Amino acid sequence: MIGARNFAPLVAVLLLAACVAPPPPVADLKPGERPDINSDEAGLWMQMDQVEEMLKTSGHVVEDRKLNDYIRSVTCKLSAEYCQHLRLFVVQTPHFNASMAPNGTMQVWTGTLLRAQNEAQLAYILGHEMAHYIRRHSVQKWRSIRRTTDSMAFMGDLAQIVAMTSVLAFSRDHERESDDIGFDLMVKAGYDPAEAPKTWRALLAERDADGEEKDKPSVFFSSHPAVEERVETLDAKAAPLAGQGIVGDKPYVNAVKRHRRAWLKDEMRKRDFAGTQVVLANLAAAGHPAGDIKFFEGELYRLRGDEGDLKEAIVAYRSAIKAKGAPVEVHRSLGLAYWKTRQNKLARKSFSRYLAAAPKAEDRAMIQSYIDQLK
């Protein structure tokens, strides 16, 4: 897993696990290898096969063939032997996360795809997940937890549930190892190593964007190696090689552009406005069309609705219209912002522009009624 989920109730169990002698080392999974049918690992795989079936019909999987093919192609650049044994699922969730199940079910959340700026950053994330699979971290975790829960037999079913849930959250050492292997895989595939720490640095900027949140423990950052530590480690590894290799911003932007608006709408619903401002700035820096990014900046101000935000929204919408790539809805949004600030003449003009640009709009009748009211 690349994001950090909170499993606070399990901390006690994990601490217990640390007191038990470590289990014997586990060899890497060979490409195409399946666990012995009678092993505990086969049991884990079967459970994850069921989870995979549920995921398929969950309605949250992004089916876009081109996008899936693109992510798969990057996975195969990292390892041609292993990629064919992985099943990739793009899951529509506006948070930064990716995960790998022991049976090769890989999830990449759309919040991650929105945040990655280029192919090199995506490669690092995929390499990290692939490392969990190759190193068989799930079964390692399972065995170390079992050694603890066996001694908790008095807890019955609860011990089982705790053990199953914990398997999905890797240990700090496994995360560190996956960071390491993921980095090596992306470098070997010819990507610019300097992009790996940028993934984490952007998350830090997002976390710290809202000063008020700084002291609050965040679910996102509460477990796993501190993000600061991950940045530091990757920076040190990348320094001697930085600037060498492929960044791949154009192919990446091209692969995700059809989904950008839908993912940004999901992102806005989180109402983490300061964080989303960082995301928008990174999208602009990655080469997404300025008109579109400015439009969403305007939407952010209009939704937040703090003092002075409507004025900021108007400025953003107007520069969206001047720049390339703004959706026609920018005229409707600008009209609403003008109306709310009692600039009725300008509001009417913007609404008329919207109807001229989108004559078949579903909300045509409603917008026309606005224009009539404003006369």
Paired sense of beta strands 105-109 and 87-91, if any: parallel
Could you write out the DSSP letters of every residue in 95-131?
Answer: S--EEE-TTSEEEEEHHHHHH--SHHHHHHHHHHHHH
Q: Rounded to the nearest whole angstrom, what is the least distance from the CB of residue 170 to Zn ion in the complex?
A: 5
Give 196 or 286: the residue with its C-beta nearer to Zn ion: 196
Residue 312, H or E segment: helix 309-322
Give 174 or 332: the residue with its C-beta nearer to Zn ion: 174
Asked if 351 and 365 touch (Cβ cutoff 8 Å), the reply is: no
For CA atoms 285, 287, 290, 295, give the dihedral sign: negative
Give 96 or 263: the residue with its C-beta nearer to Zn ion: 96
Q: Rounded to the nearest whole angstrom, what is the least distance from the CB of residue 244 to Zn ion in the complex?
A: 26
Asked if 141 and 26 touch (Cβ cutoff 8 Å), the reply is: no
Q: Rounded to the nearest whole angstrom, what is the least distance from the CB of residue 271 to Zn ion in the complex?
A: 27
Q: Rounded to the nearest whole angstrom, what is the least distance from the CB of residue 109 to Zn ion in the complex?
A: 13
Binding mask 100-119 for Zn ion (x = CB under 5 A): --------------------
Per CB under 5 A, the segment of 2-10, 229-237, 246-254, 268-276 that binds Zn ion is 2-10
144: how many CB neighbours lie within 10 A of its CB?
20
Please provide residue 61's backbone torsions phi and psi, each rounded to the nearest 5 degrees: -90, 130
Give 122 or 300: the residue with its C-beta nearer to Zn ion: 122
Q: Rounded to the nearest whole angstrom, what is the least distance from the CB of residue 10 to Zn ion in the complex?
A: 16
Separation between Cα atoms, residue 306 and residue 285, nearest integer Å: 26
| Residue 1 sits in the site that holds Zn ion (CB under 5 A) | yes
Classified as helix, coil or strand, 91 is strand
Asked if 297 and 322 touch (Cβ cutoff 8 Å), the reply is: no
Give 100 or 202: the residue with its C-beta nearer to Zn ion: 100
Classified as helix, coil or strand, 87 is strand
Q: How many residues bind Zn ion (CB under 5 A)?
A: 4
Give 186 or 280: the residue with its C-beta nearer to Zn ion: 186
Kindly calculate the radius of gyration of the chain based on its CA atoms and give it in whole angstroms: 24
Asked if 191 and 124 touch (Cβ cutoff 8 Å), the reply is: yes
Per CB under 5 A, the segment of 68-76, 176-184, 186-194, 349-357 that binds Zn ion is 176-184
Give 175 or 192: the residue with its C-beta nearer to Zn ion: 175
Residue nearest to Zn ion (CB): 1
Per CB under 5 A, the segment of 7-15, 172-180, 207-215, 306-314 that binds Zn ion is 172-180
Paired sense of beta strands 105-109 and 98-100, if any: antiparallel
Structure tokens at 173: 């050492």
Q: Rounded to the nearest whole angstrom, what is the least distance from the CB of residue 32 to Zn ion in the complex?
A: 22
Q: Rounded to the nearest whole angstrom, what is the least distance from the CB of residue 105 to Zn ion in the complex?
A: 14
Give 165 or 343: the residue with its C-beta nearer to Zn ion: 165
Structure tokens at 357: 């640009």
Binding mask 297-336 for Zn ion (x = CB under 5 A): ----------------------------------------
Bridge partner list, 61 = 91
Q: Rounded to the nearest whole angstrom, what is the least distance from the CB of residue 129 to Zn ion in the complex?
A: 7
Q: Rounded to the nearest whole angstrom, what is the least distance from the CB of residue 48 to Zn ion in the complex?
A: 16
For Zn ion, the binding residues in 65-84 under the rule CB under 5 A are none
Separation between Cα atoms, residue 236 and residue 239, nearest integer Å: 5
Give 148 or 178: the residue with its C-beta nearer to Zn ion: 178
Per CB under 5 A, the segment of 107-115, 177-185, 209-217, 271-279 that binds Zn ion is 177-185
| Residue 17 sits in the site that holds Zn ion (CB under 5 A) | no
Structure tokens at 340: 């709310």
DSSP-derived secondary structure letter, 89: E
Q: Rounded to the nearest whole angstrom, what is the least distance from the CB of residue 135 to Zn ion in the complex?
A: 11
Separation between Cα atoms, residue 192 and residue 184, nearest integer Å: 11
Residues that bind Zn ion (CB under 5 A): 1-2, 175, 178
